[in-house]
Amino acid sequence: MTLKEIRSIETVEDFERILFPLSWNVSYRGGSVGFSADKLESIGISSSLLPHNNGAYCNYLGGGLRGSIYLSNYSPAITGRKKQLLDAILNACKRIYLYLEAPLNEETDETGETNWDAIGTAAARRAGVKSAY
């Protein structure tokens, strides 16, 4: 796998074809797209330098609003090429999250009514709101 391949990932299928199986749960109440730390052992990144679960996450703010999408943290001991690969993989998770969430972000629903949850979520994200707590 190359950085170029990872940076081209847009869907779950792309991710799994290039890397490894992915787990996801995306709904109007937030969610995540990610993988367990042990999956990165195959590219030489020790799971001891990572949280158990890695990827992109979104908190539910309440009232139908979702917060900003953020990425997992990891140890500063991960450097160089491994850091580049990990950053690219985490950003791919964020792109996939946005892809899976896109139907929830339509400004009108199937009946043509205004989707206030989508409008409010977009405003919360522009403001950088990650959590209501």
Tens of pLDDT along 9-59? Answer: 999 999 999 999 999 999 999 999 999 999 999 889 999 999 999 999 999
CA-angle at 81, arms to 20 and 86, nearest 5°: 40
pLDDT given at position 131: 81
Would you mind telling me the total number of residues written for the chain in this entry? 133
pLDDT given at position 130: 81
* Percent of the chain scoring above 90 in pLDDT: 89
Predicted structure pTM score:
0.91
Query: Cα–Cα distance between 119 and 60 in angstroms, integer?
Result: 15
pLDDT given at position 110: 87
Average pLDDT over residues 101-121: 94
Q: Name the phi and psi angles at 90, rounded to 5.
A: -65, -40
Q: Are 85 and 2 in contact (CB under 8 A)?
A: no
